[in-house]
A = this chain, B = another copy of it.
Amino acid sequence: MGLLAAGIGAGIVAIAAGLGIGMIGKAATESIARQPEASGDIRGAMLLTSVFIEGVALFCAVICALIIFLG
């Protein structure tokens, strides 16, 4: 049961990061196309939010890995 949990959990974690960062990247590239002179500010906001999602996703992925070794 623990292994099933780890596998499905890792998949859902990846979906979370994929959709979240994908949305940000989509908006960032479209925003740079609309306002090229603001690309520095846009890139800063993009990086900050992507790193937040990445942090939570890696933390949750580590939890899934822990389930395999300790479960």
List residues of chain A with CB under 8 Å of any chain B CB. Answer: 1-39, 41-61, 63-71
Contact = CB atoms under 8 A, between A and B. Distances in A.
Given A26-B27, A33-B31, A63 B66 contact: no
Copies assembled: 5
Given A30-B31, A59-B61, 7 more contacts: A8-B8, A13-B60, A14-B61, A17-B20, A17-B57, A43-B48, A66-B68
Contacts of A9: 6-11
A45 B15 CA distance: 20
Contact of A25 (B13, B27, B57): B27
A49 B28 CA distance: 9
Contact of A3 (B5, B20, B27, B28): B5
